[in-house]
Amino acid sequence: MIAQKKETFLKDYQPPAYLVDRVDLRIELDAQSTLVQSRLLCRPNQQTKKPLVLNGKRLEVVQVALNGSVLTRNRFTFTDGLLTIAHVPAEPFEVAVTTRINPAENTALEGLYLSSGNYCTQCEPEGFRTITCFPDRPDVMSVFTTTVIGDKTSCPVLLANGNLMASGDLDDGRHYATWHDPFPKPSYLFALVAGDLVRISDTFTTRSGRTVALHIYVEARNRDKCGHAMRSLKKAMRWDEEHFGREYDLDLYMIVAVDDFNMGAMENKGLNVFNSKYVLALPETATDADYEGIEAVIAHEYFHNWTGNRITCRDWFQLSLKEGLTVFRDQEFTADMSSRPVKRIEDVNIIRSLQFREDSGPMAHPVRPPSFVEINNFYTLTVYNKGAEVIRMLFTLLGAETFRQGMDIYFDRHDGQAVTCDDFVAAMETAWGKDLSQFKRWYSQAGTPELTVTGHYSAADQQFILEIEQSCPPTRESVVKEPFFMPIAIGLLDENGNALPVNTDAGTGTDTDTKMLILSEQRQQYFFPNITSKPTVSFLRNFSAPVKVHHAQSEEELHRLMTHDTDPFNRWEAGQTLSLRHILEQIANFQHQQPISIRHRLVRGLRDFLLDTDLDPAFTAMAVTLPTENWIGQQMTIIDPVAIFSVRQQFRAQIGLQLRDELLQRYHDLTGDIPYQYNAVEAARRTLRNTCLAYLLAPEIGGRLTPELLQLGTEQYQRSDNMTDSIAALGCVVNADAAAGAALLADFYTKWQHDPLVVDKWLALQAGCSLPGTLEHVKNLTGHASFSIKNPNKVRALIATFCATNHNQFHAADGHGYCFLGDQVIRLDPLNPQIAARMLTPLTQWRRYDPTRQQMMCEQLERIRRQPLVSDDVQEVVDRSLQK
């Protein structure tokens, strides 16, 4: 076994002994032997006699020089990933390091690597050290000048951060380009791209009148797929000016799309590198969800220019400083571009179905982790999405205007600095004028808080008392949790569903229909006077805090909220709660081998949603969709994946049967003949139409659809002029009838086999198929010409889709799904440890299952741990998962 990294602790943070004010890089590209020359202008950060220590990994150190003098081997050491010069001057000095690297062998896709013949970098969090030796930490911020040299034929395009300063030809068939970024940045934001790419150009005029050049670089075959990405970029630039007062600061903004990328995208200063999934789109190749995802990710990376680049994180424990804040910003952008209620529901679904599960598992950690072995393992839903919910709570507490003031203070105080989450909260404290010390527990305490809610109505006093008690389960970093500080938005409805004015001597806010309560103690009571009858409580409106709620409400109250609540989120939530209650009841019947049935009242509520044509169709689609299998499982002490799938599938089939006329009516009413357009209205129409189709084509387990319904799906697939409708129809048929699905899948592959992103959809559809035999089919597909274990998108499409979303089949009683995942992680780990570690997530939840499944899942974790060269990434996940 290779030597493992030590655990790093936040409490041990020390400022860097030396700073690097300027970096000059000269990079001579070669597939197997790239030569990197770096000159670092260094200075002591304080009076120190410490040695200069630079990080270096998977590279050859060719030469080291200090103030122009080449050092002999006895004057420096290079061992265990550290280049150490024992004696350096006490005043500013220059260190020059020459290294050699092999991009062609870099399958980890970290640092500088080859992707489809093009050179590309990914340096966050610790990839720069695989290019050259450097103090590779985010609190060392430097001005970079980069000269890239490459072959003119294979690399006609040479890109790096900042503005282009010079370019020209060399005598040996090569050429060069020199780039300068005037803004100090940490090394994780360094970027380089070189290869045979085409450029799509546009411009943007800032509010101050500056013209910014916008360039998107792609392979020639993708030239016509960049229009939506360019429009999205310009929307994001304008939105950030209008909502946060942030104007772009360079003369040029560049995006590059590559097929091989571990993440979605990377916000390198001025040169954003994107997974091609989040750039390329045409109506016939990309779905509405793809279009929305591209718009959101383009915005996210652009917004990082200020929340991540101009102001960065002091250390990697502060990762949510930039990611949580920027996710909040891109969520708000998407809400403005589409449907705000639907966007909020989508975000909450991610939190509740996936992040809450993370909070309750062995990888649970606070938004600001106290320690890590491998930082790659902490690019998590907790840091990103829960971190965004923490920012949203501040937004809710302060209000839009005061929050904006807080953001302005944050930008003014910390521009050009590497700071902490505490610095951000301090800016908000200044704007609000109130102490937020207790609020910061959201950054330091892991786990999902749980609220128990009870109401007491006194007819004699005409007073309603709401009592809230908070708790939080123990997690690895702490058993006892101090009370959180959180906003709780509530409303009250009378027996006819009318909103009651809410007035209380506790809380803040002026809206008479919604009161913002502040919960800061373990148990608190809130008094509502002048309430003439027992009210129905609309609790946690707009999901104002990321918590689980235990609130006993009758079916009558839930139906009242479904029908009349003015808060769209709680209207949806009431329907989800009612559905969940019925599903859990029928799961118990299934486990006792009793018949499964669906209550008429639930079907009636779904019918009312379906036929309400005044509602946004996208909201209706969300409202009639049953709770996810993940969220259902979280309500169970022992997760029974077979029972969850079986009952949920039976509910879908019964809804499709009992509401067939209504579903067909809405399906045909929403069918249009106009050519595809991507906008909020048309996307909403397609969403509800395809939701109706999914119900109509949902077969009972072991049952078959009528030929007429199956033909409905086949005809939509054949007639569709866009990927949204064709892939939706294909998915319905694939999950309803094996023979019909196989025929359409063959047709689909024949048509799209030369488009990698569309082939990913083809792989994912098969991996997610609920029909028997899927695992064997997935195994066969790992040897298909379209699949590559080295491409993260292919791995996510096939392996992750099966193991993370096809719960019924992955968790089959024979344990073969677990063996398959173990095989794939062992296969992946030597190639790409980051992706291998992420694939492990389904096995980390082993404690939530029955003893037999627990044993089989642990056997795979132990098997992976016994591998002779297991990576730090994978070992940390395995060790934490198996920890008693």
CA distance 593 to 364: 35
Eight-state DSSP code of residue 116: T
- Other beta carbons within 10 angstroms of residue 440's beta carbon come to 18
Least Cα distance to 794 among 843, 745, 758, 754 occurs for: 758
Least Cα distance to 258 among 131, 125, 116, 154 occurs for: 116
Query: What's the CA dihedral at 360, 366, 369, 375 to 10 degrees?
Result: 50
CA distance 783 to 777: 10
Least Cα distance to 838 among 850, 858, 820, 824 occurs for: 824
401 catalytic? Reply is no
Question: Can you read off the two tokens belonging to residue 829?
Answer: 């780990």
For residue 486, what is the enclosing H or E element?
strand 486-493
Least Cα distance to 254 among 312, 197, 338, 311 occurs for: 197
CA distance 649 to 262: 34
- Other beta carbons within 10 angstroms of residue 486's beta carbon come to 27
- Other beta carbons within 10 angstroms of residue 32's beta carbon come to 11
| Rounded-to-5 percentages of helix, strand, coil across the chain | 45, 20, 35
- Looking at 753-791, list the stretches that DSSP marks H as alpha helix, in order from N- to C-terminal side: 756-767, 774-781
Least Cα distance to 186 among 57, 312, 325 occurs for: 312
858 to 72, 815, 862, 863, 883: CA distances (angstroms)? 51, 11, 6, 8, 11
Half-sphere exposure of residue 752: CA atoms within 13 angstroms, side-chain side: 22
Contacts of 432 (CB under 8 A, 6+ apart): 397, 398, 402, 406
Quick check: 820 and 137 in contact, CB under 8 A? no
Report phi then psi at 575, rounded to 5.
-65, -40
Following DSSP, what letter does each residue of 536-573 receive, concatenated?
EEEESGGG-SS-EEEE---HHHHHHHHHH-S-HHHHHH
Pairing assessment for the beta strands 142-151 and 174-185 based on DSSP bridges:
antiparallel
Active site residue: 110, 219, 295, 301, which one? 301
**Would you name the residues annotated as active-site residues?**
301
